[in-house]
Amino acid sequence: MKPFTKLTGSAAPLPLANVDTDMIIPKQFLKTVSRKGLAEGLFHELKTLPDGSPNPDFVLNQPAYQSASVLIARENFGCGSSREHAPWALLDQGISCVIAPSFADIFYNNCFKNGILPIVLPRQAVDELMAQAGGPNHVFTVDLEAQTVTGPDGKSHAFDIDPGRKANLMAGLDEIGETLTHATAIDVHEERRRLSAPWLA
């Protein structure tokens, strides 16, 4: 997993609440276990017109936001089913940070497992950042160590994050990677158990 420390990049505004995981990555794109190529299905119903052509009004289809690394949304982002393809698709698009007033629990947890930083900010702060993201200068800086989001206006917004999750993101560790940092202690325990209770081997 790629470490997340400090990110400076374009932020795309998505002024929608209750964006569910089927909207993020529709069911027809879930036939693969590969994390590559899922950007094709990301927000498919929003970015594609009925005739299959790109919707020019959808934010990620617009040239200024095609390389966005931050997404700003409304309440309850990531609700619906627990599909892990949702954060995979965002990452495949290049989005490694999502800012919203609230997230669905399972999606929120899946973000940390895949190297995405989900940031919860008050509605007023999200409104300010959303407006700036829609302006001509939409370059934001997300500093995980300092726990701040700074918009084009130079104003910084502090956010909270669990210390353990913060440390793992900064080190690029998912749950398996975190476990493997204790490999020596695990080996010692296993050897001690083998000697003390050989009948369990």
Using one digit for the tens of pLDDT, what is the confidence trace for 6-41?
Answer: 999 999 999 999 999 999 999 888 887 777 889 999
One CATH from 3.90.1150.10, 3.40.50.80, 3.40.50.2300, 3.20.19.10 for 6-173? 3.20.19.10
Distance CA 87, CA 110 (A): 7
- What is the spatial order of strands in the sheet that 148-150 belongs to? 117-120, 97-100, 70-73, 6-14, 139-143, 148-150, 156-158
User: Which backbone phi and psi does 162 adopt, to 5 degrees?
Assistant: -60, 130
pLDDT in tens, 80-106: 988 889 999 999 999 999 999 999 999
175: pLDDT strictly greater than 70: no
Predicted local confidence at residue 14, as pLDDT: 98
**pLDDT, tens digit, for every residue of 105-142?**
999 999 999 999 999 999 999 999 999 999 999 999 99
Q: How far apart, in whole angstroms, are the C-alpha atoms of residue 81 and residue 92?
A: 20
pTM as predicted: 0.88
